[in-house]
Amino acid sequence: MSTTTTSVQSGSIRRSESGDVEVKVNVYRNGNKLQSSDGADDIYDFITGIEIYESITSSTIEAKFLFNDGSGFIGAMTGSEQFRVIIRGTILDRVYWFRAYDIEARSRLNTTDNFIVNCVSDEFLQNEVTNVFGNSQVVFDSTSSSEIVEQILKTDNRYIKTQKKIYIEESTNKQQFIATNWRPFDCVYWLSQRSVRKARKGGTLQNGFVFYENGLGFNFKSIDKIIDDVNNQTESDTNFTSGASKLYTYVYSTKSSGSDASDQFKIETIVFPEERDFLTGLRNGAWAGFSIGFDPVTVTQSKMGLSTDMSVDAYRYGINAIWPKMSHLNESGSVNPLSQLDTRIKSIVDYPRRTRYTILSNQIFDPKYQNNPQKNYEELVELQAYQWMRFESLKNIKLMIKFPGNLDLYAGNGINIILPATYKRNQTTDVDRKYSGKYVIGGLTHKIVGTTMSTEALLLKDSIPRN
């Protein structure tokens, strides 16, 4: 029995309504499937709802099971069991494995217990009980970020030992660090903050890596790589080897009556969270500021950059200068949304309100500058600013949508959205060009109640079409 892999195949049930699913849930303890006295092993009858969550900000997939138990099942649970969830859908069938770690919100009404079982991927708990200690050059076989991450997640039996697919973007810089009894995921996150892409746009250095699990496996990629992949995404079937998923198009329109198959790809609800909050952005230095880095070994000599506006040396960053160095969704015909603001507001946005300080060890970066440490300081502190701007710019446009469940969508991959405009031209409704187009799926939640599944997705886009 495999407890770590997730199996998939094309949807196998015939749809009567969009979002139809068939679900089976089994519970395992010590590798053995739990059964009742009469041999029954499917506990889905006791479950009133399931939520499965993945995000580019979450190291593993999470799940919640909502129980309505009148059989005493809770008395047989230890809270550490494995759950196998088999979902047969109209687009894709999938098998998930989760490990329970918490039972909460338990209440009793007459003879029925209601409670929630919280679960995560097994790898999350493995991470909690595994430690990394020592010099990276000693405990790891290589010094590049991508190779260390692969060793931590898969190839080294001392650490996570996942059987799932891993999708890792190659990095260019070498890493040397001391792991002070860190967990494996701590090492991966440390590397994500300091890794530089091998691919470059316009000869400039790019960073901004994220680490997360989606339905395809574990991912260690830069935001720019994610955007490049979404731009190249097509309607071809998902390739589970390469991690290139199918591009689905969803349309916001009136739902038809009956069992129209096209309803599967219609958006049911749409919300525009945090449309534009200039005040918070200005206070946080979201679009402009100063960046200062220090080497803890030579702190008095490691301040770098030049500024006539401050009494200390600092690198001044701004979205207008960094924007051309980034990859962007729908790049050929897109612009920075801030470029279309009122002139007065644009001047305010470009004002450096926040100073960011970061410890940046010169020794962890490029050996070719070992005789010119100032060059390393300059690149490091500029990368610090780039990383901040890279994450902030991805959140320029946000949508929260709900639609019939689709297990062939993945956090960190793309989706195409078509929204109608709120006006008509010659009695014809135009497409809303600003909010339509390709998005990065920042996170999604599959919600199952009975035989119906819906998917809620947070979508992110950094650019808008040119006027």
Q: Which residues contact 157 (CB under 8 A, 6 or more apart)?
A: none
**Phi, psi at residue 140, to the nearest 5°?**
-115, 155
* 207 and 229 share one domain: yes
Q: Which residues contact 3 (CB under 8 A, 6 or more apart)?
A: 28, 31, 82, 97, 122
Residue 166, beta-bridge partner list: 218
Give one DSSP letter per residue of 163-202, joined into a string: -S-EEE--B-SB---EEEEE-HHHHHHHHHTT--BSS-BT
Q: State which of 98, 122, 146 marks the end of a domain.
A: 122
For residue range 393-437, list pLDDT tens digits in order: 999 999 999 999 999 999 999 999 999 988 777 766 788 989 999
Q: Measured between alpha carbons, how far is 270 from 403 in angstroms, rounded to an integer?
A: 9
Residue 36, pLDDT score: 77
For residue range 29-60, list pLDDT tens digits in order: 998 998 877 778 999 999 999 999 999 999 99
* 270 and 348 share one domain: no
Q: Measured between alpha carbons, how far is 195 from 190 in angstroms, rounded to an integer?
A: 9
Of residues 386 and 442, which shows the higher confidence score? 442
Return the sign of the alpha-carbon dihedral for residues 245, 247, 252, 256: negative
pLDDT at 441 over 50: yes
Q: Which domain holds residue 63?
A: 7-122
pLDDT at 8 over 80: no
- Average pLDDT over the chain reads 85
Q: State which of 122, 149, 175 marks the end of a domain.
A: 122
* 79 and 164 share one domain: no
Q: Measured between alpha carbons, how far is 330 from 80 in angstroms, rounded to an integer?
A: 45
**Cα dihedral: 19, 23, 29, 33 (round 10):** -160
Confirm whether 449 is domain-assigned. Answer: no
Of residues 22 and 198, which shows the higher confidence score? 22
Confirm whether 450 is domain-assigned. Answer: no
* 376 and 423 share one domain: no
User: Residue 215 in contact with residue 63, Cβ under 8 Å?
Assistant: no
**pLDDT tier at 26 (50, 70, 90 boundaries)?**
very high
Confirm whether 239 is domain-assigned. Answer: no
Strands 217-222 and 269-271: unpaired
**What is the rounded average pLDDT of the residues 81-100?**
94
Domain CATH number, residue 169: 3.55.50
Confirm whether 86 is domain-assigned. Answer: yes
Q: Which residues contact 107 (CB under 8 A, 6 or more apart)?
A: 113, 114, 115
* 163 and 73 share one domain: no
Confirm whether 36 is domain-assigned. Answer: yes
Give one DSSP letter per residue of 275-340, joined into a string: ---HHHHHHTTSSEEEEEEE-SSSTTT------SSSSS--EEEEHHHHGGGS--TTGGGEE-GGGG
Confirm whether 90 is domain-assigned. Answer: yes
Residue 371, pLDDT score: 56
* 375 and 431 share one domain: no
Q: Measured between alpha carbons, how far is 209 from 386 in angstroms, rounded to an integer?
A: 11
Residue 421, pLDDT score: 86
The number of distinct structural domains making up the chain is 4
Of residues 147 and 360, which shows the higher confidence score? 147
Confirm whether 242 is domain-assigned. Answer: no
Q: Residue 371: how many CA atoms within 13 Å on its side-chain side?
A: 1
Residue 377, pLDDT score: 58
**What is the rounded average pLDDT of the residues 134-152?**
91
Q: Measured between alpha carbons, how far is 159 from 396 in angstroms, rounded to an integer?
A: 37
Domain CATH number, residue 26: 2.40.10.10
* 97 and 145 share one domain: no
Of these ranges, 202-206, 328-332, 391-395, the one predicted with the greatest mean pLDDT is 391-395
* 148 and 181 share one domain: yes
Confirm whether 92 is domain-assigned. Answer: yes
* 13 and 117 share one domain: yes
Q: Measured between alpha carbons, how far is 13 from 388 in angstroms, rounded to an integer?
A: 45
Q: State which of 59, 94, 122 marks the end of a domain.
A: 122
Q: Measured between alpha carbons, how far is 15 from 442 in angstroms, rounded to an integer?
A: 28
* 387 and 401 share one domain: no
Amino acid at 451: T
For residue range 97-129, list pLDDT tens digits in order: 999 999 998 888 888 889 999 999 999 999 999
Q: Which residues contact 257 (CB under 8 A, 6 or more apart)?
A: none
* 253 and 399 share one domain: yes
Nearest to 418 by CA among 439, 392, 404, 397: 439
* 184 and 203 share one domain: yes
For residue range 211-248, list pLDDT tens digits in order: 999 999 999 999 999 999 999 999 999 999 999 999 99
Q: How far apart, in Å, do the first and last CA atoms of the chain sit?
A: 56
